[in-house]
Structure 1
Amino acid sequence: MAVYVRVQALPGRHAPDGQGDRVPASYWIAAAGLTLAVVSHLPLGRPAAIAVATIVFIGGGLPHGAYDIALLRRAAALDRRRLSLVVAGYAAIVGAMALMWTTMPLFALILFLVVASIHFGEDWGMIEEPLLRVAAGAAIIAAPTIGHPGAVTRLFVAMSDDRAGVLVRVVIAIAPVALLITAVGIAVAWRSGSRNWATAMASCLLLLVAAPPVAGFALFFVFLHSPRHLAATRIVLRDMTLLRWLATGGALSATALFGWWMLQRMTIAPVGDITAGAFQLLASVAVPHLLLSRWLDRRLERTRSAVSG
């Protein structure tokens, strides 16, 4: 989340000589495995493989947003009453998103894509212009439409309705621009010394094009995006014992998974389409996650300005 920009420099912006450029070893292992699977023509697009990739991106990706409330409490020093109000508001936004999937699914899908683009764009601190960062974040969504437009269309339709096919065509149209901007960001990161990040992001984008959409997204979300934010959050919450840290992430992720199950029970996604339901769950928690991260980012900026002044 945006806290990462202030706690530990994003590659290429405040990371001279490659510092702050670490990419988890698990990413390289997962990327090598996915590359081998793609070149070996393994059936990664079959239902069983898609289900496995879905479990990976939900189980491995949700925990990075599980510490939002703890971060807020640390930044704002809230008492119990105010904290309860914040938690209630957070839950209300999640509930509103879930309701939106039942009443306005196409709008919910568009909102999800916009929020995801903004959030993923926060990884690109070396790009100064906010709109260009959003475009770089959108490349994560756009890349799969180049290699697997049919699979992306089926997923979007399952998440909303038949009108989602038009949305896929819009995403395909913007894909070249988004990927070009991301290529510029990769070049800037490389020149700035963040070569691990640049190499990892370039390989990830290639795999997002080449691999089936859910497998490619799981690689990015679980092995590249989430670990960076988890590491930054751990720095902010370093006084938490490891047991409490793990228990917090596990409990809140389990709560989100219970919500996923409830979404399926409400038949928001077609029966049996666990992947559509998983992305709907991700969308439902992504909106409050982004709003809270933006608020924390502004508060940290004010605190830094006050200290420097």
Structure 2
Amino acid sequence: MAYWIAAAALVVATLAGVPLGQPAAVAAATLVFIGGGLPHGAYDIALLRRSGALGRFGVRLAVGGYVAVALLMVTLWLTLPLVALALFLVVAAVHFGEDWQMLDEPLLRVAAGTAVIAAATIGHPAEVAALFVAMSDSRAAVIAQVVTAVAPVALLVTAVGIAAAWRDGGRSWASAMTLCFALLLILPPVAGFALFFVFLHSPRHLARTRAALRDMTAARWLGTGAMLSGLAIFGWWVVRTIVPSGLGPSATAQAFQLLASVAVPHLLLSRGLERRLSPDPSFRKSMPTP
């Protein structure tokens, strides 16, 4: 329901001529995707402990590895930003592809995940290229061109996934994704991404996480999400204070860099836990209701 309300609000704003690409609107969308998106990875350690896959020492080791991978990503942004950007886009494509479990072939899921980035790039090539450059350097414009080149295949695969979702009974998901891709083509990139990331992608993961951690009290659940998301933002602020020249010049570029820094360890851990946390085979095929 929240997705449809948010999508309708963006449609109305677009029809009314609200300048969603202006700095104030972009800043608001940035706050939405950071505030609404970071919490969906805040429960990774709790899920790891719940899985029973590791003992106490193993959990501590995994936490150390999680932090180390995040710090490695931060280091890449500071030293090799073009590599960090390319890695971020690959990780995003793989992670977003996890929403398309109705596609049996892993490469097809990655293509469908890529479509989220590709749709925005087709609709707003100059804006996406400028964002990539702000996150990295002038050479990043080539990466935007590469994404544009693979966009037709990615969108075709996604159309197959949407048809499969509709056929298998996930009509709400199929309808939501169809509208979302249309809006990714039309809306300014940050607004379109915020709609997808906060109102479609994150709720799916939060719902599954909440089911796995169902005995966690509501207060602890909210506190964990707020605390760990806040720690990620605070850690980024510390890095920005210490090494201000090595990060993106805009708040939006830095928000994406922060998201990338936590997305890589989140993906590695979530994929490792996938089988252990799936209660039955159909769970992997289930589709969320927006």
On whether the aligned pair clears a TM of 0.5, the verdict is yes
CA distance in 2, matches of 1:262, 1:234: 31
Secondary structure of 1:245's aligned partner? helix
**Which residue pairs with 2:30 in the alignment?**
54
Superposed CA RMSD = 1.5
1:300, CA displacement in angstroms? 4.9
Q: Which residue of 2 aligns with 1:119?
A: 95
From 240, 247, 272, the counterpart of 1:269: 247
| Cα distance in structure 1, aligned partners of 2:229 and 2:112 | 28
Equivalent residue number for residue 284 of structure 2: none
- Specify the alignment match of 2:209 in structure 1: 233
How far apart are residue 304 of structure 1 and its match?
6.9
Residues 259 and 281 in structure 1, CA contact (< 8 A), matched pair in contact too: no
Is the deviation greater in 68-77 or in 123-132? 68-77
Give the deviation of 1:270 after TM superposition: 3.5
SS of the aligned residue for 2:88 comes to helix
Q: Mark the CA change 1:83 to 1:159 in structure 2 (over 3 Å): closer, same or farther.
A: same
1:100 aligns with 2:71: no
Question: Is the CA contact 1:58–1:278 (under 8 Å) kept in the aligned structure 2?
Answer: yes
How many residue pairs were aligned?
279
- Would you say the 8 A contact 2:212–2:277 is kept in 1? no
- Deviation of the 1:27 alpha carbon: 0.2
Counterpart in 1 of 2:288? none
Which range moves more in the overlay, 34-43 or 111-120?
Answer: 34-43
CA distance in 1, matches of 2:88, 2:270: 16
For the 8 Å contact 2:136–2:248, the answer to whether it is kept is no
Distance 1:174 1:139 in 2: 9
- Supply the distance in 1 between the matched residues of 2:35 and 2:82 (Cα, whole angstroms): 26
Gaps of 5+ in 2: 282-290
Equivalent position of 1:175 in the other structure: 151
The residue identity in structure 2 corresponding to 1:285 is V
Contact 2:102 2:165 in 1 (8 A): yes
Long gaps (5+) in structure 1: 1-24
If the length of structure 2 is used for normalisation, what is the TM-score? Answer: 0.93
**What's the counterpart of residue 52 of structure 2?**
76
Equivalent residue runs for 1:22-33 within 5 Å: 25-33=1-9
Q: Is 1:296 paired with 2:252?
A: no
- Would the aligned equivalents of 2:78 and 2:247 in 1 still touch at CA under 8 Å? no
Q: Secondary structure at the match of 1:123?
A: coil
Counterpart position of 1:279: 256
Higher deviation after alignment, 84-93 or 118-127: 84-93
In structure 2, C-alpha distance between the alignment counterparts of 1:45 and 1:77, rounded to whole Å? 46
Task: Report the counterpart of residue 147 of structure 1 in structure 2.
Answer: 123
> Once the two structures are aligned, what percentage of the paired residues are identical?
65
